[in-house]
Chains A and B, each alone.
Chain A
Amino acid sequence: MASNISPSAFDKEQIFGMAEKEMEYRVELFNKMTQTCFNKCVDNRYKESELNMGENSCIDRCVSKYWHVTNLIGQLLGSGKPAM
Protein backbone atom coordinates (compact mmCIF):
# COMPACT_ATOMS: atom_id res chain seq x y z
CA MET A 1 0.00 0.00 0.00
CA ALA A 2 1.50 3.34 -0.98
CA SER A 3 1.97 5.96 1.70
CA ASN A 4 0.25 9.31 1.28
CA ILE A 5 -2.59 7.61 -0.53
CA SER A 6 -5.73 6.79 1.40
CA PRO A 7 -6.32 3.03 1.38
CA SER A 8 -9.38 1.80 -0.45
CA ALA A 9 -12.49 0.93 1.54
CA PHE A 10 -11.87 -2.77 0.98
CA ASP A 11 -8.26 -2.52 2.18
CA LYS A 12 -9.42 -0.60 5.23
CA GLU A 13 -11.92 -3.27 6.18
CA GLN A 14 -9.28 -5.96 5.77
CA ILE A 15 -6.84 -4.05 7.93
CA PHE A 16 -9.41 -3.44 10.65
CA GLY A 17 -10.41 -7.08 10.59
CA MET A 18 -6.81 -8.22 10.86
CA ALA A 19 -6.07 -5.75 13.63
CA GLU A 20 -9.09 -6.85 15.62
CA LYS A 21 -8.24 -10.53 15.26
CA GLU A 22 -4.68 -9.86 16.35
CA MET A 23 -5.81 -7.91 19.39
CA GLU A 24 -8.16 -10.70 20.37
CA TYR A 25 -5.45 -13.31 19.88
CA ARG A 26 -3.02 -11.46 22.12
CA VAL A 27 -5.59 -10.96 24.84
CA GLU A 28 -6.52 -14.63 24.69
CA LEU A 29 -2.86 -15.68 24.80
CA PHE A 30 -2.26 -13.45 27.82
CA ASN A 31 -5.33 -14.83 29.61
CA LYS A 32 -4.40 -18.45 28.97
CA MET A 33 -0.83 -17.80 30.08
CA THR A 34 -2.01 -16.09 33.25
CA GLN A 35 -4.48 -18.81 34.18
CA THR A 36 -2.02 -21.58 33.42
CA CYS A 37 0.79 -20.00 35.42
CA PHE A 38 -1.56 -19.23 38.30
CA ASN A 39 -2.63 -22.86 38.46
CA LYS A 40 0.94 -24.13 38.28
CA CYS A 41 2.73 -21.63 40.50
CA VAL A 42 0.44 -20.40 43.24
CA ASP A 43 0.14 -22.34 46.48
CA ASN A 44 -3.59 -22.79 46.86
CA ARG A 45 -3.56 -22.68 50.64
CA TYR A 46 -3.56 -18.84 50.38
CA LYS A 47 -1.68 -18.18 53.58
CA GLU A 48 -1.08 -14.57 52.55
CA SER A 49 -2.08 -12.31 49.67
CA GLU A 50 1.47 -11.47 48.54
CA LEU A 51 3.27 -13.69 46.07
CA ASN A 52 6.20 -15.33 47.84
CA MET A 53 9.70 -15.71 46.43
CA GLY A 54 9.13 -19.20 45.12
CA GLU A 55 5.91 -18.20 43.43
CA ASN A 56 7.56 -15.17 41.81
CA SER A 57 10.42 -17.24 40.41
CA CYS A 58 8.01 -19.86 39.18
CA ILE A 59 5.89 -17.26 37.40
CA ASP A 60 8.88 -15.84 35.51
CA ARG A 61 9.92 -19.28 34.36
CA CYS A 62 6.38 -20.35 33.58
CA VAL A 63 5.81 -17.35 31.29
CA SER A 64 9.09 -17.94 29.51
CA LYS A 65 8.36 -21.63 28.92
CA TYR A 66 4.76 -21.00 27.90
CA TRP A 67 6.02 -18.52 25.32
CA HIS A 68 8.53 -21.08 24.10
CA VAL A 69 5.85 -23.75 23.75
CA THR A 70 3.63 -21.31 21.87
CA ASN A 71 6.44 -20.71 19.39
CA LEU A 72 7.29 -24.40 19.05
CA ILE A 73 3.73 -25.40 18.27
CA GLY A 74 3.28 -22.38 16.04
CA GLN A 75 6.26 -23.46 14.00
CA LEU A 76 5.03 -27.04 13.83
CA LEU A 77 1.59 -26.00 12.61
CA GLY A 78 2.97 -23.37 10.30
CA SER A 79 5.49 -25.69 8.71
CA GLY A 80 2.71 -27.76 7.19
CA LYS A 81 4.22 -31.00 8.45
CA PRO A 82 1.70 -33.53 9.68
CA ALA A 83 1.94 -34.43 13.35
CA MET A 84 3.90 -37.61 14.06
Chain B
Amino acid sequence: MDKNIISDLDNFPEEDKQRMSTMADQLQIRDSLRMYNSLVEKCFKECVNTFYRKSMTKQEETCVLRCAQKYLRLSMQVGLRFSDLNQGSSTTDK
Protein backbone atom coordinates (compact mmCIF):
# COMPACT_ATOMS: atom_id res chain seq x y z
CA MET B 1 0.00 0.00 0.00
CA ASP B 2 1.23 3.50 -0.77
CA LYS B 3 2.81 5.41 2.08
CA ASN B 4 0.39 8.24 1.39
CA ILE B 5 -2.54 5.98 2.09
CA ILE B 6 -0.91 4.58 5.19
CA SER B 7 -0.11 7.99 6.63
CA ASP B 8 -3.63 9.18 5.86
CA LEU B 9 -4.94 6.15 7.72
CA ASP B 10 -3.19 7.25 10.88
CA ASN B 11 -5.42 10.29 10.99
CA PHE B 12 -8.55 8.24 10.59
CA PRO B 13 -10.92 7.53 13.46
CA GLU B 14 -11.22 3.97 14.70
CA GLU B 15 -14.31 3.15 12.65
CA ASP B 16 -12.44 3.91 9.42
CA LYS B 17 -9.53 1.70 10.41
CA GLN B 18 -12.11 -0.99 11.06
CA ARG B 19 -13.56 -0.43 7.61
CA MET B 20 -10.14 -0.78 5.98
CA SER B 21 -9.52 -3.94 7.95
CA THR B 22 -12.88 -5.37 6.88
CA MET B 23 -12.09 -4.59 3.26
CA ALA B 24 -8.78 -6.43 3.51
CA ASP B 25 -10.44 -9.42 5.19
CA GLN B 26 -13.09 -9.69 2.51
CA LEU B 27 -10.45 -9.49 -0.18
CA GLN B 28 -8.53 -12.28 1.51
CA ILE B 29 -11.59 -14.52 1.70
CA ARG B 30 -12.40 -13.90 -1.94
CA ASP B 31 -8.81 -14.57 -2.92
CA SER B 32 -8.67 -17.83 -0.97
CA LEU B 33 -11.81 -19.13 -2.63
CA ARG B 34 -10.52 -18.09 -6.03
CA MET B 35 -7.23 -19.86 -5.39
CA TYR B 36 -9.07 -23.00 -4.27
CA ASN B 37 -11.11 -23.03 -7.49
CA SER B 38 -8.17 -22.44 -9.79
CA LEU B 39 -6.07 -25.05 -8.00
CA VAL B 40 -8.80 -27.66 -8.42
CA GLU B 41 -9.11 -26.79 -12.10
CA LYS B 42 -5.35 -26.80 -12.66
CA CYS B 43 -4.61 -30.09 -10.93
CA PHE B 44 -7.66 -31.81 -12.38
CA LYS B 45 -6.55 -30.87 -15.90
CA GLU B 46 -3.02 -32.05 -15.21
CA CYS B 47 -3.78 -35.29 -13.45
CA VAL B 48 -7.13 -36.72 -14.55
CA ASN B 49 -7.21 -37.91 -18.14
CA THR B 50 -9.11 -41.20 -18.28
CA PHE B 51 -12.74 -41.83 -17.45
CA TYR B 52 -13.16 -45.59 -17.55
CA ARG B 53 -14.35 -45.47 -13.96
CA LYS B 54 -15.90 -42.81 -11.81
CA SER B 55 -13.52 -43.45 -8.92
CA MET B 56 -10.03 -41.94 -8.83
CA THR B 57 -7.04 -44.19 -9.37
CA LYS B 58 -4.23 -44.17 -6.83
CA GLN B 59 -1.97 -42.64 -9.46
CA GLU B 60 -4.41 -39.81 -10.15
CA GLU B 61 -4.87 -39.11 -6.47
CA THR B 62 -1.14 -39.00 -5.85
CA CYS B 63 -0.67 -36.71 -8.82
CA VAL B 64 -3.37 -34.30 -7.62
CA LEU B 65 -1.88 -34.10 -4.14
CA ARG B 66 1.63 -33.49 -5.46
CA CYS B 67 0.36 -30.90 -7.91
CA ALA B 68 -1.44 -29.02 -5.14
CA GLN B 69 1.47 -29.23 -2.71
CA LYS B 70 3.92 -27.97 -5.32
CA TYR B 71 1.62 -25.08 -6.12
CA LEU B 72 1.28 -24.10 -2.47
CA ARG B 73 5.03 -24.25 -1.96
CA LEU B 74 5.59 -22.22 -5.10
CA SER B 75 3.02 -19.68 -3.95
CA MET B 76 4.85 -19.28 -0.67
CA GLN B 77 8.16 -18.74 -2.44
CA VAL B 78 6.65 -16.25 -4.88
CA GLY B 79 5.17 -14.46 -1.90
CA LEU B 80 8.59 -14.06 -0.30
CA ARG B 81 10.14 -12.74 -3.52
CA PHE B 82 7.14 -10.50 -4.08
CA SER B 83 7.67 -8.93 -0.67
CA ASP B 84 11.33 -8.30 -1.46
CA LEU B 85 10.44 -6.61 -4.73
CA ASN B 86 7.77 -4.47 -3.11
CA GLN B 87 10.23 -3.21 -0.55
CA GLY B 88 12.52 -2.20 -3.37
CA SER B 89 15.44 -4.34 -2.28
CA SER B 90 17.59 -5.38 -5.20
CA THR B 91 17.61 -9.04 -6.09
CA THR B 92 20.88 -10.52 -7.20
CA ASP B 93 20.70 -12.57 -10.36
CA LYS B 94 21.35 -16.27 -10.01
Give Cα A5 to B41, complex, Å.
50
Report whether over half of chain A's contact residues are helix, strand or loop; otherwise say mixed.
helix
Give Cα A70 to B30, complex, Å.
24
Give Cα A6 to B11, complex, Å.
7
Chain A residues 1 to 57 lying within 8 A of chain B, measured CB to CB, are 1, 3-7, 12, 15-16, 18-20, 22-24, 27, 30-31, 33-35, 37-38, 41-42, 44, 46-51, 55-57
Total A-B residue contacts, Cβ distance less than 8 Å:
107
Residues of B within 8 A of A24 (CB): 27
Chain B residues 14 to 34 lying within 8 A of chain A, measured CB to CB, are 16, 19-20, 23-24, 27, 31, 34
User: In the complex, which range does the number of interface residues on chain B fall in?
Assistant: 35 or more
Contact between chains at A12 and B66 (CB < 8 Å): no
| B43 (CB) vs chain A CBs: closest residue | A46
| B78 partner, pick from A12, A16, A49, A59, beta carbons under 8 A | A59
Contact between chains at A51 and B23 (CB < 8 Å): no
Is the C-beta of B48 less than 8 angstroms from some C-beta in chain A?
no
Residues of A within 8 A of B27 (CB): 20, 23-24, 27
B-side residues, CB < 8 A to A, are 1-2, 5, 8, 11-13, 16, 19-20, 23-24, 27, 31, 34-35, 38, 42, 46-47, 62-63, 65-67, 69-71, 73-75, 77-79, 81-82, 85, 91, 93-94
